Amino acid sequence: TKVTKEAVIYHNTMSEIKQIQKGDKLPDVDVQIFENDDAKTVKTSELFGKGTVVIIGVPGAYTPICTRDHCPSFIAGAKKLQEKKVDLVACISVNDVWVMNAWGEYMKTGQHVKMVADTAGLFGKATGMWKEYSAAILGGRTKRFALIVKEGVVTHVAVDDEGVATTSAEGVLPYL
């Protein structure tokens, strides 16, 4: 296998990106949402910049843990999150907006979780929440994470390499 100059630059660049931390301002990049039966590109500052937002990152739509445990915990915990004054829960993944919309319909997220497509991985890379899942044949994806953001500033960061102990709704609630 030939290693290209571009691959080395990409690897070195990705290894230098620091994971977002408490107190950091959320990066402003383009993501996609499904609105009025169509794809819409929005800036993360527009979507996540006001109020209290919980952003959950998942490696992929329809993947087992994401579909069975992670996202559903926020649907089930919607009332508790509202009581804690959460304005928006958003699920972001490196999938296209059509897949994210269909997955949201499949899980019946309704008004509880906004499905967000990070199609090019810009958000995952800019936050340092990026992982190469080559062994699992997924390629580059977001890590399984949860961020609490207040007025565009990160107030809590959680990452789970396995399971959803710290990134589920129950794992996030104590930090709101």
Active site residues: 66
Cα separation values, 161 from 2, 131, 155, 164, Å:
30, 10, 20, 8
Dist. CA 41–CA 48, nearest whole Å: 14
3-state secondary structure (DSSP) of residue 79: helix
Asked whether the beta carbons of 32 and 43 are under 8 A apart, the reply is no
Tell the burial category of 152 from Cβ atoms under 10 Å away from its Cβ (0-12, 13-18, 19+): middle
